[in-house]
A and B are shown apart, each in its own frame.
Chain A
């Protein structure tokens, strides 16, 4: 039995129907535990006060913004190479979710930036890179919406996802070059000496797990919707022809 069996729409619908309640439950639990722990049971930071606690939304959202695009890239490649419709529809389903994570990352960043840096927006490389990422998401979603034939749309958006990934990556380094920023470095490396201490780190990991599960939940729901809508279209066409 091969993993590609799950790319069969019917099989996917069965499997996802079975998985969905479990993933949803786990996502809710992890997010609830992580956020409550992070917000109410961690000490205020020495210099930053309570503002630092927004990392429990900001960091996981930012990570998922990038992960969602990566997932779209992989599923697009699978569609181009193996022509599995579920893969293309999953990429389509993930795009608005990824965009929302990007927007959450940007908004929480702005809210955090205000007390930290004294400004809502700075053309800091990381912020700029995320803004550019949001534009890539917008273009990708707009292309899906503009093309009528679903297979044509899947092909075109897949090519865009591949080319866009390369250029998004280039942009990331271009903006680093363009402006060395205010933003602190990654807070999550394994080298804990320099980074956030355990007290903050553990609830953050739980939050990230929660966001990942939330993403999986939403992608499953939306992919199921896309499959149903695609199926509905096929049935309507058949009706018209008969």
Chain B
């Protein structure tokens, strides 16, 4: 049974259709990597899957409370310590411990440091540790490896692999090889066609056919 699937999905950015006819199914233990040139609509697709914006057409199906979303921005509060940042998300998602996540993302030495004093890569690790404390099976990630060094990318790849092995799933927009046994979905072929060529139209445009 698939944890997350999309059917004939069309998404719009600022009212302009960017992708159409996107379909995929993500089963437990699998990862799906989204590829495509900048501006193709990866972020828009991920935001739609995460439920932040409604699809223009089609639907997203997910098990209830299954999706954890990690955006470009980490939502890290500079004036809180690493532990406090994670503890906040742990209690929002109703999970107990942050210690495991801190250890797993190699943040133990930084645990009491204010997040404002972290480097970009360390901050990123903190943002990704947040996924571990959500306790949710489907990780939807937008360019998770930005500003990570090679060792951290390796570490993150291992974390995702463990997550998959434990029955989780991941939808990742990235250009970096994380060393995962992942399916690849090239979004290039789903680029929204112009309306004249039978592509999808926005609701307002529809009336002027």
Contacts and interface: CB of A to CB of B under 8 A. Distances in A.
A237 B16 contact: yes
A50 interface: no
A242 B195 CA distance: 9
B208 A238 contact: no
B204 A230 contact: yes
Given A150-B15, A238-B194, A242-B194, A8 B207 contact: yes
16 contacts: A9-B207, A10-B207, A10-B208, A11-B207, A85-B204, A149-B14, A149-B15, A230-B204, A231-B204, A234-B202, A234-B204, A234-B208, A238-B194, A238-B195, A241-B16, A242-B194
A83 interface: yes
Contacts of A148: 14
Interface in A16-35: none
A151 B16 CA distance: 11
Interface in A217-238: 230-231, 234, 237-238
B205 interface: yes
Contacts of A85: 203-204, 207
A83 B207 CA distance: 13
Most buried by A among B194, B202, B204: B204
Interface of A: 8-11, 83, 85, 148-151, 230-231, 234, 237-238, 241-242
Count class of interface residues, chain B: 10 to 19
Contacts of B202: 234
A11 B208 CA distance: 9
Given A83-B203, A151-B15, A238-B195, 13 more contacts: A8-B207, A9-B204, A9-B208, A10-B207, A10-B208, A11-B207, A85-B204, A85-B207, A149-B15, A231-B208, A234-B208, A238-B194, A238-B196
A230 B203 CA distance: 12
Contacts of A150: 15
Interface string B11-22: 000111000000
Most buried by B among A8, A85, A148: A85
Nearest to B16: A237
A85 B208 CA distance: 13
Interface in B183-209: 192, 194-196, 202-205, 207-208
Contacts of B194: 238, 241-242
Nearest to A241: B194
Contacts of B16: 237, 241
B128 to A, nearest CB: 30
Contacts of A238: 194-196
A56 B201 CA distance: 49
Contacts of B203: 83, 85
A85 B205 CA distance: 10
Nearest to A151: B15
Nearest to B209: A10
A8 B194 CA distance: 22
A150 B12 CA distance: 13
Contacts of A237: 16
A151 B207 CA distance: 16
B28 to A, nearest CB: 36
B61 to A, nearest CB: 23
A200 B180 CA distance: 85
A112 B192 CA distance: 61
Contacts of B196: 238, 242
Contacts of A149: 14-15
A241 B15 CA distance: 13
Nearest to A233: B15
A148 B13 CA distance: 13
B15 to A, nearest CB: 6
